[in-house]
A and B are shown apart, each in its own frame.
Chain A
Amino acid sequence: MEGTDQEKIISALKEKFEGEILHAEMLYDFLTITLKKDQIISIIRHLYDHPDTQFQYLTTLCGIHYPDVNQIAVMYQLHSLQKNYRIRLKIYLPVESPVTPTLTTIFPAANWLERETFDFFGVIFEGHPNLKRILNVEDMIIFPLRKEYPLEDQTREDKNDTMFGR
């Protein structure tokens, strides 16, 4: 992605959502923009419609748990097939109440991706048509990809992780 493309995207964003941008940088070949959480859906709608950006393809979305700052990030990756740009948007939600509006109103593809994020991180997508667990069993009570849940049973004594553990 060339420099001018980035500027176009950021200026297209700033037209309406100047105050929403917290941080924008290039991470390898990806323009990554961190945004305030409140207006994320209208921002994506704006990027979808804007003639300079046309981000009309949802590549993926997923959650990331940052235990140090006690936040869960939701990452949206959009692709403009017309102009062949890719962009990554990130919002941060507090772990205590990770609630954000659903993206299914714009992309039907977000349906299962949001269910997966709910399943593994407990992020609640408001307005989602069918928000229930998708890959794990329905009576599970934890959100397994959060960092406080270790991969292995911690009561085991036959494994010593001092050398190979994280």
Chain B
Amino acid sequence: MEAKHEFTDQLPPEEKQYSYLNLGPTHPATHGIFQNVLKMDGEIIVEAEPTIGYIHRAFEKLAERRPFYQITPLTDRMNYCSSPINNMGWHMTVEKLLNIELPKRVQYIRIVIMELSRIADHIICNTIIGQDTGATTGFLYLFQMRERIYEIFEEICGARLTTNIGRIGGMERNIPKRAWEKIDAFMVDFPPALQEFTNLLERNRIFMDRTINCGSISAERALAYSFSGPNLRAAGVDYDVRVMTPYSSYEEFDFIIPVGTNGDTYDRFMVRQSEMWESMKIIRQALEKIKKEPAHIYKADVPEFVLPPKEEVYNNMEALIYQFKIVMGETDVPKGEVYHCVEGGNGELGFYLISDGGRTPFRLHFRRPCFIYYQAYPEMIKGSMLSDAILTMSSMNVIAGELDA
């Protein structure tokens, strides 16, 4: 089946009868609040006009009234499929502003958590592609594994989806023993489950016919539209923030950047599949490295900026003073402008922070990857069938929370 269709009827365009179709705002197949007004010629899309902003929550304005540590919960709610990456990206931004150097063990712990949440993010996206092509089985199989990841997060920070994991300067507490056990069990159980999912879809003729050449974009157009993450790599550009501007000691790890060639739905699917295997490789290396570090360190030694544990606040004068100073905004924050980016679940997630020395940011701008690449969507679905448009959207991993901030 060809994904792009020629207009077969011979009528000149001005005599054609077009129909307009509202896809969304709340449509079960779009997995979020997206509206697209489609101009249709039969079942073929002639033009598309996306309308966004349905769940805009003014995060950039809210952030101007919140102290740094209270902005972390806001970042949770952007890309809620991989909240820990957002949380840690924000923490690293503030650490860069404050010039805090983290102990190696904390950096490795962060890498483990970030890669776990990358796997969770890719599980959602890839199984949903399967779901949209009519293969519900893979979705059910692999979502059990996503549940296991959320149980690990639960052990570490107490929350599952909107995690608020870690603190500026490290983690809020040491990783409990049960969490390590669950991570180890996950490392054993996940590869066979992913392999099973791979066997179901990767060389499945129906799936391949459905996804190859569906919603493709060339590398030039993808770069012009500032694509990033798996979508850009599927088009054949090997840009990964973890490699280009390493953070949190990613430069010490050995992994490859999978790239595609056509930038179509199948390539995006395959890039995410390979990235899950790569993430497993990274986690395995990080777990080895953590074993060599002193086991009691879970945060940097900067009491002026890191909230002390509650039991110390009640029993220790120093800790009480620091707690008070941090919460009341009495600590001196340097003035400055920082930009820090991390490889989020769906692309380069950047935080542009301007501090004027106050307890809240003067300005905070989020570089939200899917806000930037979603504008290529009308171009990608032009001339294709309506059902391909649905598939293209789910394979682009557009998250409404991040899109609308």
Cα of A109 to Cα of B368 in the assembled complex, Å: 12
A108 at the binding interface (Cβ < 8 Å)? yes
Asked whether A32 lies within 8 Å of B337 as measured between CB atoms, the reply is yes
A97 at the binding interface (Cβ < 8 Å)? no
Cα of A111 to Cα of B226 in the assembled complex, Å: 11
Asked whether B358 lies within 8 Å of A166 as measured between CB atoms, the reply is yes
Instruction: Decide: A60 near B244, CB < 8 A? Known: A27-B338, A107-B226, A109-B225.
Output: no
Within 8 A of A (CB), among B347-381: 348, 350, 352, 354, 358-360, 363, 365, 367, 371-372, 374-376
A9 at the binding interface (Cβ < 8 Å)? no
Q: Within the complex, what minimum Cβ distance (angstroms) separates A99 from chain B?
A: 21
Within 8 A of B (CB), among A29-65: 30, 32, 56-60, 62, 64-65
Asked whether A112 lies within 8 Å of B372 as measured between CB atoms, the reply is yes
Within 8 A of A (CB), among B58-86: 58, 60-62, 64-65
Asked whether A28 lies within 8 Å of B337 as measured between CB atoms, the reply is yes
Q: Within the complex, what minimum Cβ distance (angstroms) separates A20 from chain B?
A: 21
Asked whether A60 lies within 8 Å of B225 as measured between CB atoms, the reply is no
Instruction: Decide: A59 near B350, CB < 8 A? Known: A81-B237, A135-B52.
Output: yes
B178 at the binding interface (Cβ < 8 Å)? no
CB-CB under 8 A from A59, the residues of chain B are: 226, 341, 348, 350, 367
Instruction: Decide: A64 near B405, CB < 8 A? Known: A30-B337, A59-B226, A135-B52.
Output: no
Asked whether A84 lies within 8 Å of B61 as measured between CB atoms, the reply is no
Q: Within the complex, what minimum Cβ distance (angstroms) separates A111 from chain B?
A: 6
CB-CB under 8 A from A108, the residues of chain B are: 224-225, 375-376
A136 at the binding interface (Cβ < 8 Å)? yes
Q: Within the complex, what minimum Cβ distance (angstroms) separates A48 from chain B?
A: 11
Indicate with 1 or 0, residue by residue over A93-116, a CB within 8 angstroms of chain B CB atoms: 000000000000001110111001
Q: Within the complex, what minimum Cβ distance (angstroms) separates A61 from chain B?
A: 9
Question: What is the chain A residue whose CB lies nearest that of B243?
Answer: A84
CB-CB under 8 A from A116, the residues of chain B are: 371
A77 at the binding interface (Cβ < 8 Å)? yes
CB-CB under 8 A from A58, the residues of chain B are: 226
Instruction: Decide: A145 near B60, CB < 8 A? Known: A81-B239, A111-B375.
Output: yes
Cα of A95 to Cα of B148 in the assembled complex, Å: 52
B367 interface neighbour in A32, A60, A135, A151, Cβ under 8 Å? A60
Q: Within the complex, what minimum Cβ distance (angstroms) separates B320 from chain A?
A: 18
A75 at the binding interface (Cβ < 8 Å)? yes
Within 8 A of A (CB), among B215-246: 223-226, 237, 239, 244-245
Q: Within the complex, what minimum Cβ distance (angstroms) separates A31 from chain B?
A: 11
Question: What is the chain B residue whose CB lies nearest that of A109?
Answer: B226
CB-CB under 8 A from B372, the residues of chain A are: 60, 109, 112-113
Instruction: Decide: A112 near B375, CB < 8 A? Known: A59-B226, A107-B226.
Output: yes
Asked whether B338 lies within 8 Å of A144 as measured between CB atoms, the reply is no
Question: What is the chain B residue whose CB lies nearest that of A84?
Answer: B244
CB-CB under 8 A from B65, the residues of chain A are: 151-152, 166
Question: What is the chain B residue whose CB lies nearest that of A111?
Answer: B375
Asked whether B339 lies within 8 Å of A88 as measured between CB atoms, the reply is yes
CB-CB under 8 A from A88, the residues of chain B are: 337, 339
Instruction: Decide: A135 near B337, CB < 8 A? Known: A59-B367, A107-B224, A109-B375.
Output: no
Binding site for B on A (CB under 8 A): 27-28, 30, 32, 56-60, 62, 64-65, 75, 77, 81, 84, 86, 88, 107-109, 111-113, 116, 120, 134-137, 144-145, 151-152, 163, 166
Given A109-B225, A144-B61, 5 more A-B residue pairs with CB atoms under 8 Å apart are A30-B337, A58-B226, A60-B365, A77-B350, A111-B375
Nearest first, the 9 A-B pairs at minimum CB distance are A109-B226, A135-B53, A60-B367, A62-B365, A135-B56, A112-B375, A27-B337, A109-B225, A151-B65
